[in-house]
Chains A and B, each alone.
Chain A
Amino acid sequence: MSELNPPKAILKLLQRNARLSAEEISTRLDVPVQDIENLMRRWETDKTILGYHAVVRDEALHDQKVRAMIEVSVEPERDSGFDRTARSISKFPEVTDLMLVSGNYDLLLFIMGDTLQEVADFVASKLSPMKGVRSTRTHFMLKKYKESGFQLEDNEEYERLSVTP
């Protein structure tokens, strides 16, 4: 039996492969199709499932895009802490991911732009001047090795004998 309860096991399967049908999930986990359909409807409504997407190799879609990871130091505010500033930053469409982290800075954000200049402009004219932002440090991404759990350069070959006892 799966270590996970059925709802978690279903979510985990979908997280790995959103194209699985309710029937396929039903067969794999031995849970009635109807239960799975009901759960999925509920999750879509209550935003447990935020969307279904394919994990696409960057170069297939955005071969010229520029990605950067930006460390942001933030002045915390009375009552709201880092939240207000973080919410403001998250509204920029260029920002793909944003999180509060421990360590030498406060927010870590990921950004995507068409050109190096565009990203630099975003940092200089949008992010840095924001109220509450103390400093930023930008790291441009040079090469990606793993994406959402998938190794991008997996040359591991594993050959078994074709019949063994």
Chain B
Amino acid sequence: MKNMNDSVLHRSWVADHIRSLPRSGIRDFFELVQAMDDVISLGVGEPDFATPWAIREATIYALDRGRTSYTSNLGNLNCRKEICKYVESDFGVAYDPASECIVTVGVSEALDLILRAILNPGDEVIYHEPCYVSYMPLIRMAHAVPVPVTTFEEDAFALDPQRLADAITPKTRAILLNFPNNPTGANLSDDQKREISRIAVERDLLVITDEIYAELSYGDRSPCIASYPGMRERTVFLHGFSKAFAMTGFRIGYACGPHELIEAMMKIHQYSMLCASILAQEAAVEALRNGRKEMMAMRDQYFQRRNVIVKGLNRLGLRCTLPEGAFYAFPNISATGMTDHEFARGLLTEERVAVVPGSAFTRDGTGFVRCAYATDIHTLEIALERMGSFLARHT
């Protein structure tokens, strides 16, 4: 008799391109941390602040009025108008709210939409590593080929335009940028953006810019890449409310770009997501209208924390470049002689401090760990003390 169990065991319902995706390195580490008590976590990629009260209150008010319906696929027009007004005032690029802006479920969805909207099987997308964990998988899920370009500590993890140019092939379709960067906190200078723009125009490439940490820039912020000559028509600007306004759980983001691309994104969005939550859209409107002061106050806090942690890490002998944005420090731990996983695991089990191994963000991250400083200064100081004890034992 045929063994039914065997046939079940040998059969997989999972598509090849999904099965071949690696499991996120963060996930294993997360499970380890979850099993322990009294851990100071510098592993959290989200603000420690609750959403500013005025934004929460506006959401409650919207709920109270029964604002619980679908919205236009693109998002409520008043929300798109506020978004475009903000993008113009703060990023210097004007978009038409009616046709060049779409509200999405976080930047994550926006990125998925634009990749699926532009990529044919076999197309290549260049992105820089270390980077956020979803870029490579999202490109592969769109049946395209991810082409990572490494950024280096000696360049303060900025993308070297020449390395970018060297990675371009006839199959390259787009360049994906994320500055300020997760996990390095790196930013791009005006000159670097100008050069990258020139390359994109010359090689006729689309630029997708993930600006989720833009407001959390601590020096002078260089202009938005979409504002350079010839770039507006070839840039898709992705942004959201999660980081600057501490609204991660609202899952609300947006994309601005040329009408043709927004329309293509909308096609996917309308069939897969329909629309972003109306409550989150109402919250977003309040954030843009009245949230600036609180956002600046949070940024001031991150600025101080950055100074504390970077100085502290360097004092401990963990070389750390000064991050110009976001809320991550990315120290070099190679002086300890440990790999990133050994370091992170040791620090967690011996001192109960969680940091994320650098290899979660890049193929060659063994010499680095990510320390998120979205944690109050007092806790950061305790974490630094514990790291000091750990290092004293191991170096």
Contact = CB atoms under 8 A, between A and B. Distances in A.
B50 A158 contact: yes
B300 A165 contact: no
A29 B303 CA distance: 8
Nearest to B183: A165
B33 A163 contact: yes
Interface in A25-53: 27-30
Interface residues of A, number: 18
B111 to A, nearest CB: 13
Nearest to A156: B50
Contact of B300 (A2, A156, A164): A2
Contacts of A164: 26, 30, 43-46
Contacts of A30: 307
A27 B311 contact: yes
B43 A162 contact: yes
Nearest to A30: B307
- Most interface-central of B44, B182, B304, B356 (chain A CB within 10 A): B304
B308 A165 contact: no
Contacts of B132: 165
B127 interface: no
Contacts of A60: none
A56 interface: no
Contact of B354 (A3, A4, A158, A163): A163
Q: How large is the interface on B (under 10, 10 to 19, 20 to 34, 35 or more residues)?
A: 20 to 34
B30 A162 contact: yes
Nearest to B51: A158
Contacts of B39: 162
A19 to B, nearest CB: 12
A142 interface: no
B44 A4 contact: no
Contact of A162 (B218, B219, B303, B354): B354
Contact of A28 (B29, B134, B219, B308): B308
Contacts of A28: 304-305, 307-308, 377
A163 B300 contact: no
Given A1-B218, A28-B377, A161 B44 contact: yes
What 6 A-B pairs come out closest when comparing CB atoms? A163-B43, A28-B304, A163-B30, A165-B133, A162-B41, A164-B45
